[in-house]
Amino acid sequence: MDMFEYYGFFREEDSADRLTVAETEIIEHLFDKYLPKEGRVIDTSAGYGTFAFRFAENGYKVTAGDWIADHVEKLKADPKSEMFEGLYCSSPKNLSQFADGSFDILISMGLMYHMRTRADREAFVREALRVLSPEGYFVFSYMTPMAMTLGQYFNAMRTYDASNKIKAYRKLATVEKNHSCDMFYGMTLEEMTDLSREYSLEIITVASTYGMLYNMVDEVEKMDKEQFDKFLQVQKDTCEDPFVSRYCMRGVFIGRKKITDLFD
């Protein structure tokens, strides 16, 4: 299954479980903490507009896009899309319709972990930095190698046919080595650091948004409001710890484009 089939079949953006609510709140907490309070924003993987609408409602000048046409059509059909300065459909690796330095903030939630080759990730980074203004903010979500490995490990555990179980564990060995499973890729903190050095990015924060919560959906759904509020506060308090961000399922990178000179 490729990512177009995945998002069409699972409709991940329609999910309203409490872990998704918690993840959204943590991301918004980090945006409020680190991003400027005004400016020109481009959301290159806007989905159904969760963050694009939030930025627009808070007074930012927002351009929203996605690489999946159905997402863009749904955005166009939403009356709130009148708040956007523009809507488009194209790969974030090719933003040629926008001039250099067009935006102060670029966000891409859910794209980087679908780019399985280093060449694709670097192409995305180059294009993102091209359309950003000097000292513009570059934000993307990531998955970790731990998420890839544990995901395949659980798949192997839950397989009851003997021959398929052997195949699943062999696949686990490949996933552990390549940090990739199906259409997902897990980035290490070292890779983020290398990309930042190579492309002149200042790392503002790398934070967990969806910690080691793979099997906690039912437990979190059963929490009363007081328990859930405490649970959410703990996630916010720990999300920027480097060990948490290294081993989480999903996280967010917030960086700032450096002004470079001939000596950089």
pLDDT at 205 (0 to 100): 98
- pLDDT at 4 > cutoff 80: no
CA-CA distance, 252 to 25, in Å (whole number)? 13
Q: Has residue 211 got a pLDDT over 80?
A: no
| Higher-scoring residue by pLDDT: 8, 79 | 79
Kindly report the three-state secondary structure assignment for every residue of 42-80. EECCCCCCHHHHHHHHCCCEEEEEECCHHHHHHHHHCHH
The model's confidence at residue 141, banded by pLDDT at 50, 70 and 90, is very high
pTM of the model as a whole: 0.89
Q: What pLDDT is attached to residue 10?
A: 36
Average pLDDT over residues 171-186: 92
- Provide mean pLDDT across the span 228-246: 93
Question: Average of pLDDT values for 37-52?
Answer: 96
Question: pLDDT-derived band of residue 11, with 50, 70 and 90 as boundaries?
Answer: very low
CA angle 50, 238, 113 (to 5 degrees): 50
Could you tell me the pLDDT band of residue 7, with boundaries at 50, 70 and 90?
Answer: very low
185-to-102, 150, 162, 201 alpha-carbon distances in Å: 29, 13, 27, 21
Amino acid 1: pLDDT: 43
In order, the DSSP letters of the chain are --HHHHHHHH-GGG---HHHHHHHHHHHHHHHHHS-SSSEEEETT-TTSHHHHHHHHTT-EEEEEESSHHHHHHHHHSGGGGG-SEEEE--TT--TTS-TT-EEEEEETTSGGG--SHHHHHHHHHHHHHHEEEEEEEEEEEE-HHHHHHHHHHHHHT--SHHHHHHHHHHHHHHHHHTEETTEEB--HHHHHHHHHHTTEEEEEEEEEE-S-TT-HHHHHT--HHHHHHHHHHHHHHTTSHHHHHH-SEEEEEEEEPP--TT-
Region 225-252: what's the mean pLDDT?
A: 93
Distance, CA of 3 to CA of 44 (rounded, Å):
15
Indicate whether 16 pLDDT > 60: yes
Residue 177 predicted with pLDDT over 50: yes
Average pLDDT over residues 206-218: 77
CA distance 129 to 133: 8
In the chain, pLDDT over 90 holds for what percent of residues? 77
State mean pLDDT over 43-48.
94
Residue 2: the pLDDT is 43
Under the banding of pLDDT at 50, 70 and 90, the label for residue 245 is very high
**Whether pLDDT at 105 is above 50:** yes
Give the mean model confidence (pLDDT) for residues 142-150: 91
